[in-house]
Amino acid sequence: MYNRKGFTLVEMLLALSITVLVTSTAYSMIRALKIPKVQLDSDVSVGVKQLSDYLMTGVVESHNVELVYKDRENQEFRVFLNDHRLVKTPGYETLIMNIDEISFFEENDFLFIRIKRGHREFEYLIGDLYEKNSREIEEEHEEEIP
């Protein structure tokens, strides 16, 4: 009997052909799947929700290219586009990043924001422009006092 210390040429070629066959099949299967690229714009929704929450307790002073509102303590805030970011000042808080254009507009006593990012455009309702008359303010104040 002779002592075998390696593989024969036939064994090596067989192993190589099986490896090539499995690799080529797996590659073609992966290419066939082609998962489409999904662009998530959830950051826009989150930023708009945050802005809407700020406006819930504030009063809108003006709106066009920038939004100016005052909170309950009568402190003035501005929301505007700066370097492709929607920013709230004072404090320079970034609400949304990577946007190309914004505009605020009014429709039926509601305030909307239109955001452009690339070729996509988003429109959100962010607040109402309803102004309470003095009687409603007094009634609300009376309800708060126990």
29 located within any domain = no
66 located within any domain = yes
Opening angle at CA 109, ends 106 and 110, nearest 5: 60
As a whole number of angstroms, the distance between CA 36 and CA 31 comes to 12
The pLDDT value given to residue 79: 92
Opening angle at CA 86, ends 80 and 83, nearest 5: 90
Answer yes or no: is pLDDT of 34 > 80.
Answer: no
18 located within any domain = no
Q: Hey, how many other C-beta atoms are within 10 angstroms of the C-beta on 43?
A: 14
User: Residue 95 corresponds to which tokens in the numbers above?
Assistant: 């609400």
The pLDDT value given to residue 128: 84
19 located within any domain = no
109 located within any domain = yes
Q: Cα(first)–Cα(last) distance of the chain, in Å?
A: 105
146 located within any domain = no
15 located within any domain = no
Q: Which domain holds residue 118?
A: 42-137
Structural domain total, the chain? 1
Q: At 138, is the pLDDT very low, low, confident or very high (cuts 50, 70, 90)? A: low
Q: At 64, is the pLDDT very low, low, confident or very high (cuts 50, 70, 90)? A: confident
How would DSSP label each residue in 5-67?
Answer: -S--HHHHHHHHHHHHHHHHHHHHHHHHH-PPPPPP-HHHHHHHHHHHHHHHTSEEEEESSSE
Q: At 18, is the pLDDT very low, low, confident or very high (cuts 50, 70, 90)? A: very high
112 located within any domain = yes
Average pLDDT over every residue of 53-72 = 86
**Does the N-terminal peptide bond of residue 36 adopt cis geometry, omega within 30 degrees of 0?**
no
Reported as a single tens digit per residue, the pLDDT across 67-111 is 998 888 889 999 999 999 999 988 888 899 999 999 998 888 889
pTM above 0.95, yes or no: no
